[in-house]
Amino acid sequence: MQNKRILAVDPGYERLGIAVLENDKLLFSECFKTKKEDLHHERIKQVGERIQEVIDKYNPEIFAIEELFWGTNQKTALLVAETRGVLLFVASRNKLTVREFKPVEVKIAITGYGRSTKNQIMSMVPKIIKIEKDIKSDDEFDAIAVGITCFQTRIS
């Protein structure tokens, strides 16, 4: 897939990894945070507004998002699921092609191993794509990894 700009997201409720990639370069990334003291509907509104700002600034063609992994904390999983719904709505409203990837697909695309650790992902990402900034958040690395995974798959 050549010359496609991708907005990639590692969905979260308190922390959201966001990355914009084009070809072999990272154009933008951040770990967007919401405040615990804000009401639930305000937090997901903030997430939707932030994604819209990124779309407006970078004009991506594709929206890549990691599918939800249902861990042991069902309350958190439901909050993340609601956040994903807002993200998918904003992407669809902006007529972006939406691509969803399972966590294991991302791990295989980045490390070649479906059970790789966060540290292995964080180690491999800068070897795959040009990053010209210091990234400290694993959520940010995860968003970049989702974008790389999208680049490595074909879209018709």
Catalytic residues: 10, 66, 139
Range list of H helices, the chain:
40-58, 74-93, 103-111, 118-128, 138-151
56: its two tokens = 């407006």
16: Cβ contacts below 8 Å, ≥ 6 apart: 9, 10, 31, 32, 33, 34, 47, 50, 83, 139
Give the chain's length.
156
